[in-house]
Amino acid sequence: MTHSPADQQYREKQAGALQTGDYLYLPGNGPAEEITGIELEHDDFGVPALVIATTADGVRTRIAFGSAVPVDEPGTVSAGTVVTGSADVVNEPAGEAPDAGSEAPGDDPPEDGLTADSATAVVVPPLPAAPPSLNGPTAAQLALIPAPSGTPESVIAAAAEAHPGRNGVAVLSERLVKGVNTKSGSCLRDISDLAHDLFIQLQDPDNALAVADLLNVLPFDGNRDRWASVERALALSSFICRELGQEERAAVYAQLLQVPDSLETDPFRARIAARVRQRALNEPNLYDKEIFRSIDNGNREAEREWRLLRFESLLFLRAHGGSETLRPSELDHRLANELEAVRT
pLDDT for the residue numbered 47: 65
Helix (H, G, I), strand (E, B) or coil at 132: coil
The answer on 272 and 255 residing in a single domain is: no
Give the residue numbers spanning the domain of 105. 1-129
Q: What is the pLDDT of residue 297?
A: 96
Structural domain count of the chain:
3
Question: Would you say residue 239 has pLDDT above 90?
Answer: yes
Residues 234 and 292 reside in one and the same domain: no
- CA dist list (Å): 287 to 185, 283, 314: 25, 12, 11
Same domain, 244 and 313: no
Tens digit of each residue's pLDDT (9 = 90 or more) over 282-340: 999 999 999 999 999 999 999 999 999 999 999 999 999 999 999 999 999 999 999 99
The pair phi, psi for residue 87, each rounded to 5°, is: -65, -20
Q: Which of 77, 95, 129 is the last residue of a domain?
A: 129
201 has a pLDDT exceeding 80: yes
Q: Single out the residue in 236, 262, 288 at which a domain terminates.
A: 262
Is residue 327, in this structure, part of any structural domain at all? Answer: yes
> Which residue, 98, 129, 160, sits at the end of a domain?
129
CA-CA distance, 162 to 165, in Å (whole number)?
10
Q: Higher pLDDT residue, 76 or 336?
A: 336
pLDDT at 257: 95
Tell me: pLDDT of 279 over 60: yes
Are residues 26 and 143 both part of a single domain? no
Per the domain annotation, does 134 fall within a domain?
Answer: no
Same-domain status, 216 and 143: yes
